């Protein structure tokens, strides 16, 4: 029995029966309950199920679909996400960008944290629906399919009407010379609009983004408060960034 088989089996059960009981599955498949629990824990960490005492329940289909397609669960992203989640203060207002790293942040937020979350990503909004204390505000606009977020003039305009303590921004490239970059001009504009509405802006970038550049500049270094990454603090590029005066928070 391969681990991937177990995972599929569990996801199948969740889809077909709406629940999974750890004990039953263990008996059915002839494996230990510990393995089932471990699998469920991992699936829950990826946002593919909701862990409950005794087993697990499905999360909303939209979230599952999306999370299954993207690999939210890469270790680097998870580390960055929990470091970022630690910056969110109870009662504060948070602007959360789209993208898988930001989605990981949403999953890393404590379930009963009382805060306001502003986002242009329907996926992130869906992921936070079960946070009873969280106030959600969705920025509307034309949906860009490849990144599944609202962008464009309407979204940027909607962003003008909010303000927040903290903005967590995902980018696809962090390069000492090219700066913070992303692959789409509309997305870059949207990120700029979001960052402009927060007192502090931190950029999330798992290690593979460090030292790379995409096509469109998002922001100059001066506009951001810091960078959160799991890259080695003594990495050459990271050292360069620090030399530019950038605060680098290590997520490890």
* Residues forming the site for a copy of itself (CB under 8 A): 2-5, 19, 21, 46-47, 52-55, 57, 60-63, 65-66, 120, 122-123, 125-127, 129-130, 132, 135-143, 145, 148, 150, 154-155, 158, 161
Q: Which is nearer to DNA, 22 or 118 (CB)?
A: 22
Least distance in Å: CB of 9 to a copy of itself?
12
Alpha-carbon distance of 16 to 89, in angstroms, equals 39
What residues contact residue 24 under an 8 Å CB cut-off, 6+ apart? none
> What are the tokens at 17?
């029966």
Alpha-carbon distance of 206 to 208, in angstroms, equals 6
In Å, how far from its chain's centre is CA 248?
19
Residue 182 near residue 216 (C-beta atoms within 8 A): yes
What does the CA dihedral 171, 67, 109, 21 come to, rounded to 10 degrees? -160
Q: Which does 196 bind (CB under 5 to 8 A by kind): DNA, a copy of itself, none?
A: none
Q: Which is nearer to a copy of itself, 19 or 217 (CB)?
A: 19
Return the residues of window 38-67 that contact DNA according to CB under 7 A: 38, 41, 51-55
Alpha-carbon distance of 3 to 36, in angstroms, equals 10
Q: Which does 38 bind (CB under 5 to 8 A by kind): a copy of itself, DNA, none?
A: DNA
Site string for DNA, 3-32 (x = CB under 7 A): x--x--------------xxx-------xx
The candidate with the shortest Cα–Cα distance to 232, out of 211, 203, 201, is: 211
According to the binding rule CB under 7 A, does residue 111 interact with DNA? no
Contact residues toward DNA (CB under 7 A) are 1-3, 6, 21-23, 31-35, 37-38, 41, 51-55
């Amino acid at each position: 029995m391969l681990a991937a088989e177990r995972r599929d089996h569990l996801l199948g059960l969740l889809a077909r029966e709406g629940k999974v009981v750890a004990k039953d599955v263990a008996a059915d498949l002839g494996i230990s309950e510990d393995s089932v629990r471990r699998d469920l824990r991992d699936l829950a960490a990826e946002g593919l199920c909701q862990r409950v005492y005794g087993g697990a329940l499905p999360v909303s289909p939209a979230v599952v679909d999306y999370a299954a397609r993207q690999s939210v669960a890469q270790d680097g992203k998870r580390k960055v996400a929990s470091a970022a989640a630690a910056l969110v203060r109870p009662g504060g207002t948070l602007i959360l960008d789209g993208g898988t790293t930001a989605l990981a942040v949403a999953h890393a937020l404590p379930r009963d944290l009382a805060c306001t979350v502003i986002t242009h990503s329907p996926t992130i909004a869906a992921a936070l629906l079960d946070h009873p204390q969280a106030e959600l505000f969705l920025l509307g606009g034309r949906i860009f399919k490849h990144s599944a977020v609202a962008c464009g003039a309407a979204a940027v305009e909607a962003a003008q009407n909010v303000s927040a303590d903290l903005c967590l921004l995902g980018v696809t490239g962090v390069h000492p010379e090219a700066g913070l970059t992303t692959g789409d001009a509309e997305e870059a504009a949207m990120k700029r609009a979001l960052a402009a509405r927060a007192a502090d802006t931190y950029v999330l970038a798992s290690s593979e983004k460090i030292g790379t550049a995409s096509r469109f500049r998002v922001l100059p270094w001066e506009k951001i408060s810091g960078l959160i990454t799991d890259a080695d603090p003594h990495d050459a590029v990271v050292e360069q960034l620090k030399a530019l005066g950038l605060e680098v928070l290590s997520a490890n």
